[in-house]
Amino acid sequence: MSLAIRSRPRRNRKDPVVRAFHRESDVGPQHFIYPLFIHGGDVDVPIGSMPGCSRLSPAGLFAEVERARAVGVNAVVLFPAIDDALKTPDGRECFNPDGLYPRTIAALKARWPDLCVVTDVALDPYSSDGHDGIVAADGRILNDETVEVLCKQALAQARAGADIIAPSDMMDGRVGAIRDALDAEGFTGVSILAYTAKYASAFYGPFREALDSAPRGGDKKTYQMDPANGREALRELALDEAEGADMVMVKPAGPYLDVIRRLRDATALPIAAYQVSGEYAMLKAASERGWLDEERVVMESLVAIRRAGADVILTYFARQVAERLAGVRPGKSG
């Protein structure tokens, strides 16, 4: 017998063709920025809490970028592990033109001029205190003094050939200051991707292990945002827009989908979302135990981020997912 139900949403789910008609969100390699860890050593060093990711040697980096490009991932963001001997309280190694980071940018751009190289601006990899800014004697993080160093860092990256500069430090006023510094040297075509709503999150744990960059003292709560807050993200958005950001970011992604949506509804700028190391580690760990189906949960996590309103996703799964979409059989991951 049939009930008098005239509207049956299930009719629009009845087969793959009909489902595809009205699918609202998609995920492909064109949406990815692939975060890669680099170091000066000549072997790749696997990261324990991020299976499939390593601190890459120069040769390892080139091989990984080659593989990613082969399946359509043509944007990378680099994070350096810096020798302890080069770390100082003011992080000055970050603007050394001969340092690991600028050298790597230049080498990538020389090999692949059309590769989109996104660079990280923040002091933590270079800071003997493990903070994104300069730490004063009393433990405070100095804002304006830090911004001066960040501008030098951004310029060193632009001179080396960076396409998009991404400040992840959360100091006030750094987007405008970096924009001015870039423009003053003629880098008007270099973009800024602002970490607009970056939360003081415990999901960064594996990343800090990867770079050995955990704060030596205190935490990052005086500059990164309180996970309890959504409205504050709109305030940061207004400032970053006014200061000239080309794109804005929400980070982490999965636990902050509502924040992505709030930004989506409030700005015409492209939005990026960073599926961070802890999100990656969770999905990998549960999959390794056979508790979750890796392929399916990874896709679902990424589609959800797109559905929330992100244009671009920074994800450690970028190459893996792109390979699967391209029909490449899973191999040993880099």
Q: Tally the C-alpha atoms within 13 A of residue 147's C-alpha that lie toward its C-beta.
A: 15
Which of 87, 220, 251, 284 is labelled catalytic?
Answer: 251
Is residue 332 flagged as an active site residue?
A: no
Residue nearest to ligand PBG (CB): 207
Asked if 223 is part of the footprint of ligand PBG (rule: CB under 6 A), the reply reads no
Residue 229 CA: distances (Å) to CA of 141, 144, 226, 259? 21, 24, 6, 9
Query: Smaller CB distance to ligand PBG: residue 132 or 241?
Result: 132
Give whichever of 123 and 158 is closer to ligand PBG, judged by the CB atom. 123
Q: Would you say 246 and 193 are in contact if contact means Cβ atoms under 8 Å apart?
A: yes
Antiparallel, parallel or unpaired: β 164-167 and 141-142: unpaired
The least CB distance from residue 55 to ligand PBG, in Å, is 14
Interacting residue with ligand PBG among 124, 129, 163, 240 (CB under 6 A): 124
CB nearer to ligand PBG: give 9 or 93.
93
Give residue 158's identity as a one-letter amino acid code.
Answer: A
**Catalytic residue of the set 87, 198, 220, 284:** 198
Q: What tokens were used for 2?
A: 């049939």
Binders of ligand PBG among 64-123, rule CB under 6 A?
120, 122
Only one of the segments 7-15, 200-208, 226-234, 239-247 lies at the binding site for ligand PBG (rule: CB under 6 A); that segment is 200-208
Contact 149, 95 (CB under 8 A): yes
Give the per-residue contact string, 225-264, with ligand PBG (x = CB under 6 A; - = no): ----------------------------------------
Residue type, 182: L
Does residue 284 carry a catalytic annotation? no
The least distance separating ligand PBG from the CB of residue 207, rounded to whole angstroms, comes to 3
CA angle 86, 90, 95 (to 5 degrees): 65
Among 103, 159, 208, 264, the residue binding ligand PBG under the rule CB under 6 A is: 208
Interface with ligand PBG: number of residues (CB under 6 A)? 12
d(CA 122, CA 193): 13
**Of the candidates 146, 153, 168, 320, which one interacts with ligand PBG according to CB under 6 A?**
168
Beta strand 134-135 with 141-142 is: antiparallel
Q: Report d(CA 300, CA 31) in Å as an integer.
A: 15
Measured N-to-C along each axis, helices 257-266 and 231-242 cross at an angle, to the nearest 10 degrees, of 50
Alpha-carbon gap, residue 160 to 106, rounded angstroms? 5
Q: Is 132 in the site for ligand PBG (CB under 6 A)?
A: yes
* Residues involved in catalysis: 198, 251
Sites of contact with ligand PBG (CB under 6 A): 120, 122, 124, 132, 168-169, 204, 207-208, 220, 276-277
